[in-house]
């Protein structure tokens, strides 16, 4: 069997949209653990997950595994058994999605990376295993109510823009690598306070808490299981929900509703909205917030230029973007001068 997907992503997405709803469960998990041969482990896992109908995105490195997957519900138990047969994954918590339409992923991608989260840190200079104290939802709430506590969001600005914990510091960053340095600078004067950090599923806080402890912060706490596990616990235990808005996720859904609050705005017209989308022009693919009205007006594009491009024949579009490295594009006020509609509306 092939160990890589060979079908164009656009076609796979279209196939997924056209099929009737399939009972699937979106799951995320991670584990820092020494893997001697990431490539061999990757190939073995691909074969097993492919046979189970698993879709998703998985990163494997010498330092461990980071996974977000969509599993057919009739294969949940075989999936769990497959994972738990590996000693270092036995009993690992599987974070289940809060909102799930069964179409979070359209293909299975497993990549070998230098790190399972791009943090820019030299792990030889500190002890990544010396993490902060992991806390559950009830303890998080108690610490959050303590005036001696500083809450910090360890995610990117486009994540916290649509949802975050009350009174949290939300650094204006595009990447986790940036976040670490800016967080250290923001918190420098609070080294003796309770530092309470959180992220989507917990993985970014593992390295961040160890790094900040190394930098001299005394009382470092991290939300165990992140926002996903917190939302589950507050619902099951009837606790106060201190998170407001939507939890951004890195799959086709682009978000999970935690509370009805809409705390962000359409990047084109300024109307209340927290629905992220990617520009329909594959040569742009900008991630931005777009309301239904603007989606209709601009045909899912971020600008008039992109709308004109998607009207061209597909082969012409491919030629226009040939040889151009797009990288990851995220809208940010003041950084997207080519987006006339957005820039004029947000700076008027």
Active-site residues, by number, are: 199
For 211, 236, 276, the CA distances from 68, given in Å and listed in that order, are: 25, 23, 19
Extract the tokens encoding 98. Answer: 């809060």
Q: DSSP code of 102?
A: S
What burial class does residue 107 get, using C-beta atoms within 10 Å of its C-beta: 0-12 exposed, 13-18 middle, 19+ buried? middle
Classified as helix, coil or strand, 252 is coil
Classified as helix, coil or strand, 30 is strand
Beta bridge partner(s), residue 30:
66
- Decide the pairing of beta strands 64-72 and 24-32: antiparallel
Pairwise CA distance, residues 115 & 64, whole Å: 8
- Decide the pairing of beta strands 256-257 and 243-247: antiparallel
- Decide the pairing of beta strands 55-61 and 243-247: unpaired
Is-contact 341 288, C-beta < 8 A?
no
Report DSSP letters for 310-340, one per residue.
HTS-HHHHHHHHTT------B--TTS-TT-H
Helices (H), the chain: 9-18, 38-51, 76-84, 137-144, 157-160, 176-187, 203-214, 226-237, 292-297, 304-310, 314-321, 340-347
Classified as helix, coil or strand, 68 is strand
**At which residue do the structure tokens 């000693």 appear?**
87
Classified as helix, coil or strand, 74 is helix
């Amino acid at each position: 069997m092939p160990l890589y997907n060979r079908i164009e992503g656009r076609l796979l997405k279209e196939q997924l949209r056209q099929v009737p709803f399939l009972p699937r469960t979106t799951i995320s998990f991670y584990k820092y653990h020494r893997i001697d041969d990431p490539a061999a482990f990757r190939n073995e896992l691909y074969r097993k997950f492919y046979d189970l109908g698993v879709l998703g995105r998985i990163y494997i490195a010498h330092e461990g595994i980071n996974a977000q997957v969509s599993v057919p519900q009739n294969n949940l138990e075989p999936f769990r058994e497959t994972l738990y047969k590996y000693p270092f994954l036995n009993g690992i918590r599987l974070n289940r999605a809060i909102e799930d339409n069964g179409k979070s992923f359209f293909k299975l991608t497993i990549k070998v990376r230098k790190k399972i989260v791009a943090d820019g840190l030299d792990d030889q200079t500190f002890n990544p295993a010396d993490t902060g104290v992991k806390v559950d939802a009830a303890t998080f709430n108690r610490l959050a109510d303590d005036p001696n506590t500083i809450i910090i969001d360890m995610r990117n600005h486009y994540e916290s823009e649509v949802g975050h914990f009350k009174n949290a510091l939300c650094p204006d960053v595009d990447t986790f690598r940036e976040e670490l340095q800016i967080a250290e600078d923001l918190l420098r004067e609070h080294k003796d306070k309770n530092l309470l950090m959180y992220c989507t599923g917990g993985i970014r806080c593992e390295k961040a808490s160890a790094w900040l402890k190394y930098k001299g912060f005394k009382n470092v706490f991290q939300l165990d299981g992140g926002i996903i596990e917190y939302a589950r616990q507050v619902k099951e235990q009837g606790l106060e929900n201190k998170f407001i808005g939507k939890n951004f996720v890195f799959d086709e859904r682009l978000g999970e509703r935690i509370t009805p609050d809409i705390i962000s705005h359409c990047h084109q017209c300024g109307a209340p909205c927290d629905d992220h989308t990617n520009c329909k022009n594959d040569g742009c693919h900008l991630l931005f917030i777009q309301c239904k009205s603007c989606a209709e007006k601009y045909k899912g594009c971020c600008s008039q230029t992109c709308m004109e491009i998607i009207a061209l024949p597909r082969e012409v579009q491919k030629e226009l973007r040939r040889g151009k490295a797009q990288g990851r594009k995220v809208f940010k006020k003041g950084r997207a001068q080519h987006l006339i509609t957005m820039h004029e509306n947000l700076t008027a």
